[in-house]
Amino acid sequence: MSGINPFEVAKQQIDACAKIINLPPNVTTMLKTPMRELHVSLPVKMDDGSVKVFQGFRVQYNDARGPAKGGIRFHPDETIDTVRALSSWMTWKTALLDLPLGGGKGGVICNPKELSNSELERLSRAYIRAIYQFVGPERDVPAPDVYTTPQIMAWMMDEYSAIAGKTQFGVITGKPLALGGSPGRGDATARGGMITIREAANTFGIDLSKATVAIQGYGNAGYHAARLCKELFGSKIIAVCDSKGGVCCTCDDVSGIDPGTAYEYKNTTSSVCNLPGMLQISGDELLELDVDILIPAAVENCITDKNAGKIKAKIIAELSNGPTTPEADDILYKNGVHIIPDFLCNAGGVTVSYFEMVQNFYMHTWTEDEVREKLDNKMTSAYHSVLETSKEYKINMRQAAYVRAVERVVEAMKLRGWI
């Protein structure tokens, strides 16, 4: 995002949305302004005995619909505007999924690569001490994000609990299973995406048991997507790739790529690109394959105005963040490619985070099947609400997702009497 202020981008998106649904200017202004921000200084004792002061933030962008929800980032290039932008997007994401949550985000300017484990622990605990009054199970519930891990969430929960004098699992999500984490979190993002694909396929009359799928990116999300496509729908995975290259199965290969074999191969060799028995292709070639479903699950801006016209997929399910540029969006829309936009398609993660909160409230653990069933309900409902909005306003799915989310936030603000 270097060079472009992400918060300016976020505000432009709200403006565009406000235009579609004719929001009054004062409401638009409110939506473009974070409700609360906390800037903290965090003195941390380093291993060599010195004290280093870190800067941290927590932004609660909008909590009209409920406690703020959003991750904590540990990044050397963190800025308040990045945190603001990300917290606004969390607001729309939770609203789109109809979760009783607002949007928030936090960050600490630090480079975890320069910190030992014990320093990282002290920093995590210092951050929680500094924002203790600001967050809480009913106020603002953080989660892992860039360079923060389940282990860091565990330290933070422990610190919050120590100050509160009681165990407070619900203060944070993304915890390890042994400390109030939710079953089903591992593949939540991919599974949520699969549910939206299923709904889209039903809508457009695509038989997923006969569908072909190409997946760009074979990390955690990409692998689970491939696995679930096969497990849930019986689809044929014809191509996968990662940063080092990709593979495509041959025409006469009836079963396609076995997701487990590809994952194992990647884990042992660091890439899928020489998977035995497959043809080698580049990442760019994968995007242009003649498939039913294309799942970008890796990098931003890989579908651009240069390759959008060559894309032959019927459905693009954006499992990664921001794979399609605005120019490409227009081309794909005109060409009739159905896009399941990122903040709908990959919302399974935040949805299961919400489920984790709920389980923590009740001091209860659901089974994985229960989590999956509830996730299915939420994602199915969200997909159709976006589709209907798209039809209603004759706008593309991405614009529709924004519109639906903003409508819900505005409604809550109105009911609360804020506007």
Binding flag, residue 350, other proteins (CB under 8 A): no
Choice from 5, 79, 161, 243 touching other proteins (CB under 8 A): 243
Handedness of CA 390, 202, 343, 127 (dihedral sign): positive
Binding flag, residue 349, other proteins (CB under 8 A): no
Helix ranges restricted to H, 103-169:
117-131, 150-164
Binding flag, residue 305, other proteins (CB under 8 A): no
Binding string to other proteins for residues 195 to 224, with x set by CB under 8 A, is what?
------------------------xx----
Total count of residues recorded for the chain: 419
Binding flag, residue 186, other proteins (CB under 8 A): yes
Binding segment for other proteins (CB under 8 A), chosen from 59-67, 237-245, 252-260, 387-395, is 237-245
Q: Which is nearer to other proteins, 6 or 186 (CB)?
A: 186
Residue with tokens 């290259």: 245
Contact 42, 53 (CB under 8 A): yes
Binding flag, residue 283, other proteins (CB under 8 A): yes
Choice from 8, 114, 290, 388 touching other proteins (CB under 8 A): 114
Binding flag, residue 117, other proteins (CB under 8 A): yes
Contact 283, 216 (CB under 8 A): yes
For the CA atoms of 241, 247, 248, 252, the dihedral, rounded to the nearest 10 degrees, stands at -150
Residue 189 CA to residue 156 CA, distance in Å, equals 23
Binding flag, residue 244, other proteins (CB under 8 A): yes
Neighbours of 209 (CB within 10 A): 10
Residue 29 CA to residue 24 CA, distance in Å, equals 9
- Which residues carry out catalysis? 105
Subset of 22-61 contacting other proteins (CB under 8 A): 47
Q: What is the phi/psi pair of residue 100, to 5°?
A: -80, 60
What amino acid occupies position 183? P
Which residue from 313, 337, 348, 311 is spatially nearest to 225, judged by alpha carbons? 348
Binding flag, residue 321, other proteins (CB under 8 A): no
Q: Which is nearer to other proteins, 4 or 254 (CB)?
A: 4
The minimum distance between CB 350 and other proteins, in angstroms, equals 16
Q: Which is nearer to other proteins, 151 or 396 (CB)?
A: 151
Choice from 49, 113, 326, 336 touching other proteins (CB under 8 A): 113
Structure tokens belonging to residue 51: 């004290």
94-118 in b/e form (b: 16+ CB < 10 A) is bbbbbbebbbbbbbbbbebeebeee
Binding flag, residue 335, other proteins (CB under 8 A): no
Binding flag, residue 276, other proteins (CB under 8 A): no
What's the DSSP call for residue 229?
I
Binding segment for other proteins (CB under 8 A), chosen from 55-63, 96-104, 124-132, 266-274, is 266-274
Binding segment for other proteins (CB under 8 A), chosen from 165-173, 241-249, 367-375, 395-403, is 241-249
Binding segment for other proteins (CB under 8 A), chosen from 131-139, 230-238, 276-284, 307-315, is 276-284
Subset of 142-171 contacting other proteins (CB under 8 A): 146-151
Handedness of CA 124, 92, 190, 375 (dihedral sign): positive
Name the site residues for other proteins (rule: CB under 8 A).
Answer: 2-3, 47, 111-117, 146-151, 185-186, 219-220, 242-245, 267-271, 273, 282-284, 299, 302
